[in-house]
Structure 1
Amino acid sequence: MNKIQNPTRPVFPFTAIVGQEEMKLALILNVIDPKIGGVMIMGDRGTGKSTTIRAIADLLPYIEVVIDDMFNSHISDYDLMSDFVKKRIQEGLNLSTELIKVPMIDLPLGATEDRLCGTIDIEKALSEGIKTFEPGLLAKAHRGILYVDEVNLLDDHLVDILLDSAASGWNTVEREGISIRHPSRFVLVGSGNPEEGELRPQLLDRFGMHAEIRTVRDPSLRVQIVEQRSKFDQDPYSCIEEYKDKQYKLKNNIISAQNKLSTVSIDYDLKVKISQICGILNVDGLRGDIVTNRAAKAFAAYQNKDEVDIKDIKSVITLCLSHRLRKDPLDTIDSSLKVLQVVNDILV
């Protein structure tokens, strides 16, 4: 094992962020189990969406990757390896590794499909018979976080590609009969401002969780947030030092939860109750049931429990179902409250 890459500019500590508990919980659970399917964060401008997302990426432990591989391949997990690494392992070659920070990739609004997926050099392939692949953002985001700000303004076909890759864990690029496939498993985080338009329901449904955040109205809390930010801007390193112990504790909790996740069980009766809630709320498809089960297990693992209980389900179910309800323009009740009403009736 070789070097640890140099840290970049200082990032605001995750544990120093005041409020926005729903958003923080959704991010932590997706990091514990990326199969939850990512999180969509909708809220007003200036509510700390980007700061929080960058902070969770900075908090995560370093990952071990194969040197000279453009896909952040894992050295031993077959599902997280590129075909290039698999081939070298089959040939019995020794592979060197290094530790890197968890990739945090931003997808700009003006990105093209080639920038996202990568490109194949057709000319070289036809003239020399060599497959030359220029990796895109999906390759760089493998085993990390892919963040799309203003996802509701992104072209629908790009959102489709993103969601397909996030769900399957693979990206396939095909040009002129030449095909290249590589692993692309990442936590997809989208954010947006509802004033600038909603995401199409069929796309919104593909996000595992949905957190709605609003501007803090309490004056003393607002002052606390402003002071916290000012302190960081004046002297980021002393602020990071102040929260070092809290950051370390949270990082260890996340690592423990990741290791414990596969052993956490959920009782059959609770699974039935989750599906009953989804049925009463007229949630289309089964994504709501699957995501709620996964999120409840991740939450239980985060609480260091061996089995999911009612409290765990109640803590996550609104984040998993509120965005899956059919929109009725005549509705006066908020979708989160609708979910809570049914949950309190069924989970007693």
Structure 2
Amino acid sequence: MQESGRYVYPFTAIVGQEPMKQALLLNAVNPKLSGVLIRGEKGTAKSTAVRALAALLPEIEVVADCPFGCDPGDVTVICGRCRERLEAGEELPRRQRQMRVVDLPVSATEDRVVGTLDIEHAIKKGEKRFEPGVLAEANRGILYVDEVNLLDDHVVDVLLDAAAMGVNTVEREGVSFSHPARFILIGTMNPEEGELRPQLLDRFGLCVNITGVADPALRVEIVRRRAAFEDDPAGFVASWEEEQHRLRERIVAARRLLPQVGISDEMLLLVARTAVEMGVDGHRADLVMMKAAKTNAALEGRTEVTEADIRETAELALLHRMRRKPFQELGIDEGKLAGVLGTHRHAHSHSHEHVHTHSHSHALKSHVQKRR
């Protein structure tokens, strides 16, 4: 897989950082989770994972000449111009496109993010002329905001609004324009450089704290794989394509299955009890826990949420919503959470062995990677 002429490090080759990978996969299956905030020190594969996710996801079909990349097969979420063309009997031109990663610079202004309306043209000609912004480019892709904590709070608020609504609306001097803005929002930050306000933290669906891998054997494997990728990127990517394909198919299947996933009153009660006993404010935590559990069930190929799905995803939904004292660091009492859920919770409730054998000249030793 290539992106802008570069080979992208395979998602399935990333060693460790299981909570981050899980949060990304959940959002890939269900963008309505409202994104993920990844908090961690530099050099912990945050950017690598984001770009790897885009390369992993299947190509999408778009209207070839639409600036918003509308889906020609879903008339419920197309832009006004595409709708007008369809109503006029025109057949929309189609093409396949790789999932995009759109980077938002820290210096971005609101106009750069949402786009601009030419008011003078609207007054003189009676026509709306819209210059698309970052949200238009990110529609049906991934919007990646590195150092999101350094962005202007108002710009972050605009991003989160669009992520939640799936629509971007620009209003200037009584003139308004709307277009679809459905994207996977991924924010990364180094907590040492400052925190997001609690009101903004709460708007991210999921949150994960990551640190460098401490296990020496895993650190060696990270170095080996990275060196092999740099020495022969084409060969390294090819050696992981089978596993990439399996995970890609799993994501596609989960997307199809998700609308059929149900959750019982008993499981909803467990979600509510968990939110109350962990001391979170408001009801967003309950909603996100429910959505995340249903998405996890779909990823596991099931149509009913189990207690395991809630255990598996609760921490991702609760971490950034815990009540904190002033200057207290973001964190969660895992022992208390395990007690509420009635089980001793490891970092993740399931583990499996992952063995990958390389057959190239840069072959790495077979590695057993334990998912936490």
TM-score range, shorter chain: over 0.9
Aligned 8 A contact 1:65 1:73 in 2: yes
Task: For 2:165 and 2:3, locate their aligned partners in 1 and report how far apart those are by CA, in whole Å.
Answer: 32
Task: For 1:163 and 1:131, locate their aligned partners in 2 and report how far apart those are by CA, in whole Å.
Answer: 25
Match of 1:31 among 5, 24, 28: 28
Matched letter for residue 287 of structure 2: I
Task: For 1:25 and 1:257, locate their aligned partners in 2 and report how far apart those are by CA, in whole Å.
Answer: 14
Root-mean-square deviation (Å): 2.0
Task: For 1:304 and 1:245, locate their aligned partners in 2 and report how far apart those are by CA, in whole Å.
Answer: 20
Q: Provide structure 2 residue ranges, at least 5 long, that are not aligned to the other structure.
A: 346-372
Task: Note closer, same or farther for the CA distance 1:60–1:211 as it changes in structure 2 (3 Å cut).
Answer: same
Larger helix share, 1 or 2: 1
Task: For 2:173 and 2:15, locate their aligned partners in 1 and report how far apart those are by CA, in whole Å.
Answer: 51
Match of 1:220 among 190, 213, 217: 217
Task: For 2:330 and 2:234, locate their aligned partners in 1 and report how far apart those are by CA, in whole Å.
Answer: 45
Match of 1:122 among 119, 122, 146: 119
Aligned 8 A contact 1:104 1:146 in 2: yes
Other structure's SS at 2:6 match: coil
> Is 2:2 the partner of 1:12?
no
Task: Note closer, same or farther for the CA distance 1:60–1:332 as it changes in structure 2 (3 Å cut).
Answer: closer
Task: For 2:71 and 2:333, locate their aligned partners in 1 and report how far apart those are by CA, in whole Å.
Answer: 39
Q: Residues 1-348 of structure 1: matches in 2 within 5 Å?
A: 8-328=5-325, 334-337=331-334, 340-345=337-342
Task: For 2:180 and 2:331, locate their aligned partners in 1 and report how far apart those are by CA, in whole Å.
Answer: 39
Other structure's SS at 1:105 match: strand
Partner of 2:351: none
Task: Note closer, same or farther for the CA distance 1:21–1:347 as it changes in structure 2 (3 Å cut).
Answer: closer
CA offsets 1:212-264 (integer angstroms, 9 cap, x no match): 10011222211111121111112111010010100000000000000000111
For residue 88 of structure 1, report the CA deviation from its aligned partner.
1.1
Task: For 1:292 and 1:252, locate their aligned partners in 2 and report how far apart those are by CA, in whole Å.
Answer: 25
For residue 114 of structure 1, report the CA deviation from its aligned partner.
1.0
Aligned 8 A contact 1:63 1:99 in 2: yes
Other structure's SS at 2:89 match: coil
Aligned residues between the structures: 344
78-87 or 202-211: which moved more?
Answer: 78-87
Aligned 8 A contact 1:271 1:293 in 2: yes
Aligned 8 A contact 2:26 2:296 in 1: yes
Q: Provide structure 1 residue ranges, at least 5 long, that are not aligned to the other structure.
A: none
For residue 105 of structure 1, report the CA deviation from its aligned partner.
0.5
**Seq. identity, %:** 48
For residue 123 of structure 1, report the CA deviation from its aligned partner.
2.5
For residue 339 of structure 1, report the CA deviation from its aligned partner.
5.4
Task: Note closer, same or farther for the CA distance 1:100–1:214 as it changes in structure 2 (3 Å cut).
Answer: same
CA offsets 1:284-319 (integer angstroms, 9 cap, x no match): 111111111111111111111121111111010111
Task: For 2:49 and 2:299, locate their aligned partners in 1 and report how far apart those are by CA, in whole Å.
Answer: 19
Task: For 2:122 and 2:105, locate their aligned partners in 1 and report how far apart those are by CA, in whole Å.
Answer: 29
Other structure's SS at 1:335 match: coil
For residue 342 of structure 1, report the CA deviation from its aligned partner.
4.1
Matched letter for residue 74 of structure 2: D
Task: Note closer, same or farther for the CA distance 1:33–1:6 as it changes in structure 2 (3 Å cut).
Answer: closer
For residue 161 of structure 1, report the CA deviation from its aligned partner.
0.1
250-259 or 94-103: which moved more?
Answer: 94-103
Aligned 8 A contact 1:15 1:246 in 2: yes
Other structure's SS at 1:182 match: strand
Task: For 1:332 and 1:285, locate their aligned partners in 2 and report how far apart those are by CA, in whole Å.
Answer: 20
Task: Note closer, same or farther for the CA distance 1:334–1:128 as it changes in structure 2 (3 Å cut).
Answer: closer
CA offsets 1:165-184 (integer angstroms, 9 cap, x no match): 00011111112221111010
Aligned 8 A contact 2:289 2:310 in 1: yes
Normalising by the residue count of structure 1, what TM-score does the alignment of the two structures yield? 0.94
